[in-house]
Amino acid sequence: MQTTDPAQPQSQQMVSFSFSSQMSREDEEMARSALSAFRAKEDEIEKRKMEVRERVKIQLGRVEEENRRLANIREELESMADPMRKEVSWVRKKIDSVNKELKPLGATVQKKEREYKEALDTFNEKNREKVQLLTKLMELVGESEKLRLKKLEELSMGIQTD
């Protein structure tokens, strides 16, 4: 740091001012030159940015077009894979609803089958009991007839001996 002393002669101060103004012109010239070089580089950078933006814009356009093309291809593939998708979907829904209806009906059928089996068992048991009773009745009727015939023979013999 240079300090200017008030005791220094005035001529020295003037020299330093004139030197300072010369430096200032050179500095100003250098600054202008640097500024124009900087502006030129900025313009170049801006130009390159615009070129890159344009290339990116073109590339994005291509990508969007490819996306549309791929979406169309996907739709075509889906329609080819299952042309009757709506009908198949409707039939599946109908099958599901019929299954929902079948579940309680199946439970009812099983319940009725158990009731039928129990009724059939009861019927068969009563039928066996009836057969046993009929057999017993036939035996009793047969014995009764034998006894009556025997009594009739005895009475008939008793009448003939008299």
Distance of alpha carbon 118 from the chain centroid: 47
- 91-116: pLDDT as tens digits: 999 999 999 999 999 999 999 999 99
Per-residue pLDDT tens digits for 8-48 = 544 444 444 445 556 688 888 888 888 899 999 999 999 99
Cβ atoms of residues 82 and 88 within 8 Å: yes
Matching residue, tokens 């009906």? 105
Render 61-88 in DSSP notation, one character per residue.
Answer: HHHHHHHHHHHHHHHHHHHHH-TTHHHH
Query: CA triplet 120, 125, 126: central angle to 5 degrees?
Result: 100
> Is 4 in contact with 13 (CB distance < 8 Å)?
yes
- Per-residue pLDDT tens over the stretch 53-72: 999 999 999 999 999 999 99
Whole-prediction pTM: 0.38
Spatial distance between the Cα atoms of 34 and 40, rounded to a whole number of angstroms:
10
